[in-house]
């Protein structure tokens, strides 16, 4: 069923992105046509091309929207001074995992991103840029926890990379075995394991 028609520019853009996500996840990026997205969205072809000039523009916009949401969540949590850094990291994982759970198509779509990255330099550059943006935000999170004495003194960028890799790895497994991967509880388990490795322990850390 096509999504409901909306009036605002932002709602219309979101409607198109959601339709494109569904098509890319179901059919793959290369097999999807702009006509498929028009049909899925319930909009006219003119409306679609008003917002996005090509299929690649849509593909890149989906990548940007997904990572922007994650980074915005992390930035907001970084300002919550009433919470410990440990609790902020746990809350970030919970919110991200809940978002993943609501978008079952995203596991397949993530595979499309990674596959297309091998063939298209523009897609690769976009993914590298947004990966580094997320890495920077998480690095600041962990560095602040180290400074506050909550985490032991380790390389915060390496720890941030491990956390991202854990989520990416579970996305890969989710795409292969969707019935065996249970979000959002899994996201909390990932962070529990990471935090256990980060936590300062009496008698072991200086």
Q: Per-domain residue ranges for the chain?
A: 1-53, 59-198
CATH 3.90.1150.10 fits 1-53, yes or no: no
How many Å apart are CA 158 and CA 162, to the nearest integer?
6
Assign domain 59-198 to its CATH superfamily: Tetracycline Repressor, domain 2 (1.10.357.10)
Residues of the chain with pLDDT under 70: 1-7, 201-206
CB 145 within 8 A of CB 81: no
Q: Please provide the DSSP assignment of 103-119 as one string.
A: -THHHHHHHHHHHHHTT
Q: What is the pTM of this model?
A: 0.77
The span from the first CA to the last CA of the chain, in angstroms, equals 60
Q: Kind and range of the H or E element at 194?
A: helix 185-198
Q: Nearest to residue 47, comparing CAs of 34, 56, 60?
A: 34
pLDDT value of residue 205: 54
Q: Is 187 in contact with 100 (CB distance < 8 Å)?
A: yes
């Amino acid at each position: 069923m096509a999504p409901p028609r909306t009036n605002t520019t932002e709602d219309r853009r979101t409607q198109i992105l959601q339709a494109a996500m569904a098509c890319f996840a179901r059919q793959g990026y290369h097999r999807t046509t702009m006509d498929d997205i028009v049909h899925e969205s319930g909009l006219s072809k003119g409306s679609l091309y008003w917002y996005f000039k090509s299929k690649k523009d849509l593909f890149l916009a989906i990548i940007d929207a997904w990572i922007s949401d994650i980074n915005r969540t992390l930035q907001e949590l970084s300002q919550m001074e009433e919470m410990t850094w440990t609790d902020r990291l746990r809350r970030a994982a919970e919110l991200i995992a809940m978002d993943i759970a609501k978008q079952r198509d995203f596991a397949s779509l993530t595979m499309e991103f990674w596959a297309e990255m091998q063939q298209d330099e523009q897609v690769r550059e976009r993914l590298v840029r947004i990966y580094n943006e997320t890495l920077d935000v998480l690095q600041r999170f962990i560095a602040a926890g180290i400074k506050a004495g909550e985490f032991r003194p380790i390389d915060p960028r390496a720890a941030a990379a491990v956390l991202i890799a854990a989520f990416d790895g579970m996305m890969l497994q989710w795409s292969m075995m969707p019935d065996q991967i249970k979000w959002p509880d899994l996201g909390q388990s990932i962070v529990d394991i990471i935090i256990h490795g980060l936590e300062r322990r009496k008698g072991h850390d200086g």
